[in-house]
Amino acid sequence: MTINTTVEGNKPKIDGIVHFWNLSSNVRIVLESSYKNKLIKKFLSKTKSVQQASKMLDVCIITMKKYLNKKNCSIKIETIIKLLKLIHDIQFTPESIEKKIIWIGDQRSYGINNPKLPLNFNCREGARFLAAICNDGWISDNIYYSNTSASLRNSVKKDTIAIFGGDKQMIHEWIKKKDQYLSFPSIIRDTIILFTKFKGVKSENNPAVPTFILKTKQNIYGWIEQTIADEGCVKHYPKLYRREIIWTRSFKKKLKTYKLHQDEKNMLNMIGIKYSIYIVGHYKTENGIQKIRKAIRISNRLNIIKLRELITIPDKRKDKLFTQLTKTFQRYKEPLKVKENIVKICKEKKYITSNLLKKEMKYRGTGSGNIWLKYYTNQGLIYLKKESYSRGIKGCVPAVYVLNS
Percent of the chain with pLDDT over 70: 93
Separation between Cα atoms, residue 395 and residue 277, nearest integer Å: 22
254 in Cβ contact with 202 (< 8 Å): no
Q: How far apart are the first and last CA of the chain?
A: 92
Mean pLDDT of 89-103: 93
Give the residue from 107, 228, 118, 106 showing the smallest Cα distance to 163: 118
> In whole angstroms, what is the distance from residue 149 CA to residue 70 CA?
44
pLDDT tens for residues 168-201?
A: 899 999 998 888 999 999 999 999 988 887 777 7
How confident is the model at residue 1, as a pLDDT?
Answer: 38
pTM above 0.85, yes or no: no
What pLDDT shows up at residue 331?
A: 55
Summarize the confidence of residues 319-333 as an average pLDDT: 76
Rama region for 99: left / alpha / beta (φ>0; ψ in -120 to 50; rest): alpha
Q: DSSP assignment of 171-222, as one string?
A: SEEEE-SS-EEEE--HHHHHHHTTT---SS-HHHH-PPPPGGGGGSHHHHHH
Distances (CA, A) of 147 to 164, 227, 271: 21, 13, 28
Strand partners for 403: 382
- Report the topology of domain 333-403: Arc Repressor Mutant, subunit A (1.10.10)
Whether the CB-CB separation of 132 and 160 falls below 8 Å is answered with no
* 119-201 carries CATH number 3.40.50: no
Confidence of residue 3 (pLDDT cuts 50, 70, 90): very low
Amino acid letter, residue 298: I
Q: What residues contact 82, with CB distance under 8 A and at least 6 apart?
A: 56, 57, 58
The DSSP bridge partners found for residue 243 are 236
Give the 3-state secondary structure of 243-281.
EEEEEEEEEECCCCCCHHHHHHHHHHHHCCCCCEEEEEE
Identity (one letter) of the amino acid at 357?
L
Q: What is the pLDDT of the chain when averaged over all its residues?
A: 88
Domain edges within the chain: 3-108, 119-201, 227-327, 333-403
Are 119-201 and 227-327 equal in CATH topology? yes
Give the pLDDT of residue 129: 97
Residue 240 has pLDDT above 80, yes or no: no
Tens-place pLDDT, residues 20-39: 999 988 899 999 999 999 99
Question: Element (H or E) spanning 85, and its range?
Answer: helix 77-87
More confident position, 12 or 211: 211
Could you write out the three-class secondary structure of 289-340? CEEEEEEEEECCHHHHHHHHHHCCCCCHHHHHHHHHHHHCCCCCHHHHHHHH
In the chain, the amino acid numbered 161 is I
Q: Determine the average pLDDT of the residues in 243-255.
A: 92
Pick the CATH number of 3-108 from 1.10.260, 3.30.40, 1.10.3470, 3.30.60: 1.10.260
- β-pair partners for 145: 137, 182
Indicate whether 128 pLDDT > 90: yes
Partner residues linked to 296 by β-bridges: 247, 277
Contacts of 396 (CB under 8 A, 6+ apart): 388, 389, 390
Distances (CA, A) of 237 to 33, 245, 358: 61, 12, 16
State the Cα–Cα distance between residues 258 and 296, nearest whole angstrom.
Answer: 13
Q: How confident is the model at residue 337 (pLDDT cuts 50, 70, 90)?
A: confident
What CA–CA distance (Å, rounded) separates 30 from 102?
A: 6
User: Which class is 227-327 in CATH?
Assistant: alpha beta
